[in-house]
Amino acid sequence: MASTGKQVDGNYPTVRVTKNVTVHPKSLHPPKIIHLSNLDRQCPMLMYVVFFYKASYAYRNLSLDSVFNSLKSGLEETLSIWYPAAGRMSLNQGDCKLNLWCNNGGAVLVEAITSAQIVELGDLSQYNEFFERLTYKPAFQGNLSEMPLLVAQVTRFGCGGYSIGIGTSHSLFDGPATYDFLRAWASNSAILKEKRSTQLYKPVHERGSLLVGNHQGLTELPERGSSATRAAAIDHLYQLIKQAMAAQNFDGSRNLPNIGNSNLVLRTFHLSGAMIESLKSKVFGDRRGSFSCSSFELVATHLWKARTKALGARKGAMVCLQFAVDVRNKMVPQLPKGFSGNAFVLASVALTAEELKNESHEATVEKLKAAKNSISNEYVIAYNQALDGGAQGSLPPINELTLVSDWTRMPLHTIDFLHGYAAYVSPLLSPMPQVAYFMQNPNDLRAIDVRIGLPPQSLNAFSHYFLTNLH
């Protein structure tokens, strides 16, 4: 488990669970199997976020029991449409791959109380081990088919505020689909507000053209040796693995260039809108008006340079930046509106550490844009099929690989389970804590909050390199 650099055991009151129920869809669906794509199978574990709602005058006559019952009723209604979330994983005995068994098994909803005050938690944007107590963690005995795909815990604080900790299987929905699901649930719960429809499109759960193999879907790639499009992200990853193995053989296993999961420190860096504009001015100067560059592209470039330098990659080593790209509109034909599965592939840029250090931000941004523009229908096919038959799950972190996931288009804090926006929505420790998550800040819509896991010995160096030129 990654470290936070902050021990909280004993510092906060206990969190006591008072209810634990299984929630089934209001309208049951006939049991069915939904075949998953290779994109879905990469991370079947639960991903958690915690919504914080500070005490409000509007809550003065609101009981925890009424909040729990409203969330339960709203979830029952939402699961009637988003019915895979009430299912379980199923292992295909033929090809040993995971699929969704839509069996109405139900989600888990937990009620809890604590005498802790939200204000005692300090800066909610900074990860705190206490946050893990605000989510329900089902016991995992090694059998994914027994694990719920959706769990949630509503906790009332001593100050009258609330948290809602939610875990969803990444094999179930990707980020945008999870955002739509949570908005629908909040709307259907109708706590301190009128019930309203937020569903623009009915969710489409079948994976369709993203399927490969024996199921109707993706067109097969041409034979090897042809001029078929290759997935750069997969090729670069294999090159990084070979580089790491070569370094291991040269230096011995004690010096394997792998930063590991066990000692990463999770930190959030707040880049205000003014800081991002300052960086743009320093990078592009008078040419700023003629150079098109998004905040994401510039901050991702800046982070890649800072992380690579802080982790001390050797000059001649290959270093790589990979970032998620939504392919809903890249496919031919496009994926249907409301597609709920995983529809992201990784774009990839590779350089030597020395090249990355020496070239300008502008030149690196151009490479990011080119990588993003290279994502086509053919790239998605190549990427998806490259995963077919390979090991499912995530690799351990590698110094030379920087991963970025952009959440700024998902303003999670605007999901009003209770009265008004959340004070903050904090992602918890993920199976890949080294990934840098770009998130919207509730108090500055032009800002980017960057949550990243770093080795403790590199934290100060990264902070220095990353925050340089931002003031």
Q: pLDDT class for 246, splitting at 50, 70, 90?
A: confident
The two beta strands, 88-91 and 98-102, are antiparallel
Q: What share of the chain in percent tops pLDDT 70?
A: 87
- Does residue 324 sit in the same domain as residue 189? no
- Does residue 122 sit in the same domain as residue 153? yes
CATH of the domain at 435: 3.30.559.10
Q: Report yes or no on 415 lying in a domain.
A: no
- Does residue 226 sit in the same domain as residue 129? no
For residues 417 and 328, give the distance between their C-alpha atoms in angstroms, rounded to a whole number.
28
- Does residue 128 sit in the same domain as residue 246? no
Q: What angle do CA 399, 50, 38 make, to 5 degrees?
A: 55
- Bridge partners of 269? 450
Number of domains in the chain: 2
Dihedral of CA atoms 353, 359, 365, 368 in degrees, nearest 10, equals -40
Options 29, 35, 170, 302, the catalytic residue: 170
Task: Answer for the pair 40, 171: CB distance below 8 angstroms, yes or no.
Answer: yes
Burial grade of 258 (CB within 10 A; 0-12, 13-18, 19 or more): middle
Q: What mean pLDDT is predicted for residues 83-112?
A: 94
Q: What angle do CA 34, 37, 41 make, to 5 degrees?
A: 100
Phi-psi region of 393 (alpha: psi -120 to 50; beta: other; left: phi over 0): left
Q: pLDDT class for 175, splitting at 50, 70, 90?
A: very high
Task: Answer for the pair 310, 355: CB distance below 8 angstroms, yes or no.
Answer: no
Structure letter (DSSP) for residue 308: H
Place of tokens 């990243």: 452
Q: Report yes or no on 6 lying in a domain.
A: no
List the domain range (segments joined by +) for residue 310.
222-250+262-409+424-468
Residues present in the chain in total? 471
More confident residue, 291 or 391: 291
Is 170 among the residues known to form the active site? yes
Q: pTM of this prediction?
A: 0.91
Return mean pLDDT, the chain: 88
- Bridge partners of 59? none
Count of beta carbons in the 10 Å neighbourhood of residue 255: 10
Written as six digits, the tokens of 443 are: 């108090």
Q: pLDDT class for 28, splitting at 50, 70, 90?
A: very high
Tens of pLDDT, residues 298-355: 999 999 999 999 999 999 999 999 999 999 999 999 999 999 999 999 999 999 999 9
Instruction: Name the phi and psi angles at 287, rounded to 5.
Output: -85, 5
Work out whether the CA dihedral 331, 335, 339, 341 comes out positive or negative: negative
